[in-house]
Amino acid sequence: MEALTSFISQITPQIAIGASVIALVYAVILIIIILKRKDGSAEMREIAKAIQEGATAYLNRQTMTIALFTIVLFIVMAFVLPQGKHNDGVLTAIGFLVGAIFSTLAGYIGMSVSVRANVRTTEAAKNTLQDALSVAFKGGSVTGLSVVGLSLLGVGGFYFIFTRYLGIPVTDAPKLLIGFGFGASLVSLFARVGGGIFTKAADVGADLVGKIEKNIPEDDPRNPAVIADNVGDNVGDCAGMGADLFETYAVTLIAAMILAASTLSAEKVQNGIQYPLMLGAIAVIATIIGTFFIKIGRSKKIMKALYKGMLITGLLSAIGFYFANQLFIGDINIFYAALVGLGITLFINIITEYYTSTEYEPVKKIAKSSQTGAGTNIITGLAVGLESTFLPVILIVVGILLAYFFGERSILGNGIYGIAIAAVAMLSTTGMVIATDSYGPITDNAGGIAEMANLPEKVRKNTDTLDAVGNTTKAVTKGYAIGSAALAALVLFQAYSEELHISAPNQQFTFSLIDHRVLIGLFLGGLLPFLFSSSCMQSVGKTAFKVVEEVRYQFSSRKGIMTGKQKPDYKRCVDIVTKSALREMVFPGLLAVLAPILVGFLLGPISLGGMLVGVIVTGLLLALQMCTGGGAWDNAKKYIEEGHFGGKGSDTHKAAVVGDTVGDPFKDTAGPAINSLIKVINTIALIIAPLIATLFI
Amino acid sequence: MEALTSFISQITPQIAIGASVIALVYAVILIIIILKRKDGSAEMREIAKAIQEGATAYLNRQTMTIALFTIVLFIVMAFVLPQGKHNDGVLTAIGFLVGAIFSTLAGYIGMSVSVRANVRTTEAAKNTLQDALSVAFKGGSVTGLSVVGLSLLGVGGFYFIFTRYLGIPVTDAPKLLIGFGFGASLVSLFARVGGGIFTKAADVGADLVGKIEKNIPEDDPRNPAVIADNVGDNVGDCAGMGADLFETYAVTLIAAMILAASTLSAEKVQNGIQYPLMLGAIAVIATIIGTFFIKIGRSKKIMKALYKGMLITGLLSAIGFYFANQLFIGDINIFYAALVGLGITLFINIITEYYTSTEYEPVKKIAKSSQTGAGTNIITGLAVGLESTFLPVILIVVGILLAYFFGERSILGNGIYGIAIAAVAMLSTTGMVIATDSYGPITDNAGGIAEMANLPEKVRKNTDTLDAVGNTTKAVTKGYAIGSAALAALVLFQAYSEELHISAPNQQFTFSLIDHRVLIGLFLGGLLPFLFSSSCMQSVGKTAFKVVEEVRYQFSSRKGIMTGKQKPDYKRCVDIVTKSALREMVFPGLLAVLAPILVGFLLGPISLGGMLVGVIVTGLLLALQMCTGGGAWDNAKKYIEEGHFGGKGSDTHKAAVVGDTVGDPFKDTAGPAINSLIKVINTIALIIAPLIATLFI
């Protein structure tokens, strides 16, 4: 047993690398299978191509913009950060660069597959619901597997290189990984904000003129913003979400490893550091197996099919975790902590589904309140959003208590490590979560293509059925991401505190609530998500306004568009949204990057510590409110469209459309971007900790 | 000099009592002056009487409900709390009872005067704008002076009795005052929630049927909910607001005194404890003088007149503070800390006016966005609300830093005492702030009476002019209350920590952010304002729905109402709102009272400490967002009604009405009640601190 443990421990980085390579190879196989599917008529291909080109063009320009930030930060980090024992500054900067590149790559892969799977899903929807789901879900799986594969490859690969080739001791290696995490966070921040502004500005802009002024349906080819709208699904919901979870996954792993390195005792430290990598490797394989089980059963319930895949992944992961735990830790308590993490994933799914599915009370309540107009729809939607923070927070609090308890009671005697392991376990099934999420935008697009190509009603019905579930899975993913972000960020905060202690060993860093510097930090950190989301929402408003103007102009200058005799200029709309989204993402991006640097250097490490926790607390609450509330509004509209309270076209429906419009920037721009905000601030703090450790103390 | 200091110090409680009696006597004089004014025609008197009766009936029943809670808590406190050296438990319980009674009394006085000043203001508006302002402002002054007078009387009186008659040492007396603060907080919580639900449910309900379905103007006598709407102004905006500031004022004074008692050195402690009382006494007199200066100048700008009164009060207070400081503390730094508090009041006025006045960018931006519909109006309004937290938080952070700095640098060497003095100074001008606020509902009512009694256009124009400014002053008051609440609550939290230390001297209570118990507390505390405001908003929705049903029923069952031949049954609407508001206020009330008790006893004093700070941080942000955002929405509608973007009746206006409907429960129910929520939780924690000090440590 001991020999086995020692052997496995020696090859853990290689196992992680191997598992990630398997995931990436499987993703390539899936891509080949998808590309072999029929891609429809010439008309369908033409529409798909327009979406493809728009999405690629946007992503290219977004990448250029982010690259500028990345290069500047890379140079600053390489020169300004202390080099320590192992060229720390340079290695962190290199990690940062690779993290940014890998994250970008994952976004590109996901987006490229999405814009090809969409039209093939439309084609498959001509056959059966199951066939359409199969193509769309394969597309989603590619995104999921490439995100997790590249993320695990990055973390495992760097750890391997640091410890084996550069001969850095295992306890020093983890904190050099934070550069990789920061690179991923930075890209995720911009991708979430830029993509989020793009997708919602195009969506809202298209709807305001198309649906409300011109009374033409969604995805009508006469609407000049329709391609921009479909591009948005890919760059926001697919590429943005991918970058977000890439970052969440990587940062959680890294945070757990850093914490292990700085707090575990010598004989346990190597296994403690590598255990998270092992959990990641196991869950990736479990995810691949889980994807085979996603098939629509006799009940025809899609959500049930998705749950089945998730449960099998979770179950297989748990079994694998048990054996890994016996080998690496040898104390069942740490396994229990991992189970807590898996449990949080399960319950957050159930809670979010309750709040956003058309089958339960909250969504019905919003739909019902729409009968008395848009005002009451909004009041109820806001109230539901505010209330929807309750159960997830209780869940996270219980999770923290249990994970801490198990960690404390284990032979490691380390409660925070228990929390870290719970976070890693929670995040380990990310691949599956992404797969169930990002099949959503594919079906959304597929429906759009069906509409634009005037395909028979049946096709659209199949894609619509898949899309409706997509609203809930999207909300679930966001709840999952933000919930895990809270745990991961807490671990990062602990790592920050340890790092300060290492940099200034004679100082005590207690971060007491009685200390006014901590309180100031809490206020400033608490403020950030408010300011940040305000900026995101105003950007959506501004950009949507430009879209509205352009669409109105096209309708009035080309009278033939409405009669179908003239083609609208789709490209101009895509261009306008692209330019505006890229310009608008700069302020919130700078805010996130500069806030911790300013507070750290002007008010010192204690206030910065307060800020980190402040941004976690209000960020978690605000993001939950926005993501869940937005999803509920969207589905309240869908519920009415199903024929309740007067159905489509009624005054009740019009009121619900207003709620949906408000919910859009909530759930797809501001809310999910808060997740990246939290992590960027925490990783920056960790990186600058050595520089500010002795300021104002 | 020393002899003078010693003499003044000896009679400080008496000075405070004297000043409060002067304020109360002056309030009585104002009442007499108001009652001597003409109260209009028989028709006007009849309308005013209906409002009077409705308001009195509601307040009576609300008082009965609160009395139940109060009596139960009184008994529990008297028996459960440890009796300590001086029958602490019994004295705290008695203080609690008197606090609740005084607060209720202040509410009654304010409300009774409001419902008499309203019709007299209508009558005066027949003459001139100045005359109308004079009556309305006198009415507001009565509320302001009786709130501050009773509050200062309570705190000063109890302190006098405790130290002089019961022979309790000055250092032990302050913490026995917390019962008085808790009584005030409890009443304020219920008054804010109940009154807030009442006023907004009636308002929204009346508007939804009247304005939107029946197309009749606001305050039209044919609307069966019109009296309920006007009653709401009095029980919510007047009585509720009065109870809120009564509590804020009392708790701030008490918190500062407790902090002084537990942290100042022996030779400075008595003066340090009594200094807040002295500041209160000075500012009350300054307030009375300031009210004489509120007159409309040649520019006819009402806001300018109000600012003049405020500035003079602030200036006179500052001068008085200087001399008091030289006598009591003898170190200019503490005077500077007081100036910081006055400065915060000034700047919070300016910031809130910027965000809510029709003259500046934010309101115009909302109005402009209404052109593309209700959806963009709501998105922009929410964004403005979120953004409006920025400057106040920066202001408070800077205020904390400066006040701490001056406190630290003073001979007291106590930074937190600096913050406490800043909070007391900030709150000292409460009387003036209330006066400028609560003249608002009086003019609102006056306008309603003018409308209902079919008075000439000129009258309504005069009252409307006054009312428009009321929206901004109302927002200012809320910003002021919530800003000061953050400071006061921080001082309460310090007092909580000291109290734990006294109860368990062998324990260290550090409340470190690294401690997972603190983090859990922060999450749970942060959650409370979200859950609480969700509940408040849903209550408004539910109650408004009932009003809509009743109004629709009356319109359909009595066809003569619309033609003016039949009178609607106003009383039934008042009854429905009364019952529903009282029922709905129970859950949020219980939530606020039980949350700290449950967390304290189940998770221990460390988690409770985290909860206190958590509720302050998110409470401050959420309340600012809701109050300022709501005010901005309201005035965006007013701005459009002034003739911009299409004016009254246009689609743009309709979109703005939706925003106003959403803003109503934000700014008048959920937002301001958070202030009471924060204080109730903090005072309860302070009271139960001795009981939980040793749990789970």
> Is the CA virtual torsion B547, B549, B553, B559 positive or negative?
positive
Q: Which of B387, B486, B609 sits opposite A513 (nearest CB)?
A: B609
Q: In this structure, what token pair is assigned to residue B399?
A: 């205020």
Question: Rounded CA gap, A258 and A244, in Å?
Answer: 21
Can you give the pLDDT at residue A598?
Answer: 97
Q: In this structure, what token pair is assigned to residue B623?
A: 């309340």
Q: Does position B220 have pLDDT exceeding 90, yes or no? A: no
CB-CB under 8 Å, A390 with B620: no
**Pick from A93, A83, A78: nearest CA to A186:** A93
Q: Which residues of chain B neighbour A372 with C-beta distances below 8 Å? A: 208, 544-545, 548
Q: In this structure, what token pair is assigned to residue A415?
A: 């409660």
**Would you tell me how many other CB atoms lie within 10 Å of the CB of residue A265?**
11
CB-CB under 8 Å, B540 with A379: yes
Q: What is the pLDDT of residues B573-594, one digit of tens each?
A: 999 999 999 999 999 999 999 9
Q: Which residues of chain B neighbour A377 with C-beta distances below 8 Å? A: none
Angle at B319 between CA B313 and CA B325, to 5 degrees: 125
Q: Which of B387, B518, B527 sits opposite A390 (nearest CB)?
A: B527
Question: Rounded CA gap, B23 and A581, in Å?
Answer: 58
Can you give the pLDDT at residue B461?
Answer: 87
CA distance B399 to chain A (A): 10
SS3 content of chain B, % helix, strand, coil (to 5): 85, 0, 15
Place of tokens 């300011």: A531
Q: Which of B212, B376, B380 sits opposite A373 (nearest CB)?
A: B212
CA distance A140 to chain B (A): 31
Q: Which of A524, A618, A662 sits opposite B378 (nearest CB)?
A: A662
Question: Rounded CA gap, A617 and A678, in Å?
Answer: 10
pTM listed for this prediction? 0.95
CA distance B504 to chain A (A): 17
Can you give the pLDDT at residue A170?
Answer: 93
B621 to chain A: closest CA residue: A527
**Pick from A369, A509, A488, A497: nearest CA to A425:** A488
Can you give the pLDDT at residue B637?
Answer: 93
Q: Rounded to whole angstroms, what are the CA distances from A696 to A598, A600, A601?
A: 14, 10, 9
Strand ranges for A437-491 from DSSP E? none
Helices and strands in chain B, H and E counts? 24, 0
Question: Rounded CA gap, B501 and B521, in Å?
Answer: 19
> Is the CA virtual torsion B555, B559, B560, B562 positive or negative?
positive
Residue A480 CA, distance from chain mean position: 9
Q: What is the pLDDT of residues B667-684, one digit of tens each?
A: 999 999 999 999 999 999
> Is the CA virtual torsion A444, A449, A452, A455 positive or negative?
negative
B531 to chain A: closest CA residue: A387
Beta bridge partners, B512, equal A512
Highest mean pLDDT among B127-136, B315-324, B491-500: B315-324
CB-CB under 8 Å, B621 with A617: no
B612 to chain A: closest CA residue: A513
Q: Which residues of A318-350 are buried (b: 16+ CB within 10 A; e: fewer)?
A: bebbeebbebbbebebbbbbbbbbbbbbbbbbe
Q: Which residues of B315-332 are buried (b: 16+ CB within 10 A; e: fewer)?
A: ebbbebbeebbebbbebe
Angle at B591 between CA B586 and CA B596, to 5 degrees: 145
Angle between helices B430-452 and B457-503 (to 10 degrees): 140
CB-CB under 8 Å, A208 with B389: no
Q: Which of A390, A494, A541 sits opposite B369 (nearest CB)?
A: A541
Strand ranges for B149-233 from DSSP E? none
Q: Which of A394, A516, A617 sits opposite B522 (nearest CB)?
A: A617
> Is the CA virtual torsion B152, B153, B158, B160 positive or negative?
positive
**Would you tell me how many other CB atoms lie within 10 Å of the CB of residue A101?**
18
CB-CB under 8 Å, A514 with B661: no
CB-CB under 8 Å, A519 with B514: no
CA distance A550 to chain B (A): 14
Residues in contact with B529: Cβ distance below 8 Å, sequence separation at least 6, in sequence order = B615, B618, B619, B622, B623, B674, B677, B678
Averages of pLDDT over runs of 10 residues in chain A (697 residues) are 85 96 97 94 90 91 93 94 88 96 93 93 92 92 96 97 94 94 95 94 88 82 89 87 93 94 90 96 96 82 86 96 93 96 93 92 95 92 96 96 96 94 94 89 89 89 83 84 87 91 87 94 97 95 90 90 88 92 93 96 96 96 95 93 90 92 93 93 94 84
**Pick from B499, B484, B585: nearest CA to B247:** B484
Choose, out of A212, A377, A386, the residue to mutate when testing the contact with B (most B CBs < 10 Å). A386
Q: In this structure, what token pair is assigned to residue A178?
A: 């934070």
> Is the CA virtual torsion A591, A592, A597, A599 positive or negative?
positive
Beta bridge partners, A512, equal B512
Can you give the pLDDT at residue A400?
Answer: 96
Q: Which residues of chain B neighbour A524 with C-beta distances below 8 Å? A: 393, 397
Question: Rounded CA gap, A494 and A326, in Å?
Answer: 26
Q: Does position B188 have pLDDT exceeding 90, yes or no? A: yes
Whether the CB-CB separation of A243 and A107 falls below 8 Å is answered with: yes
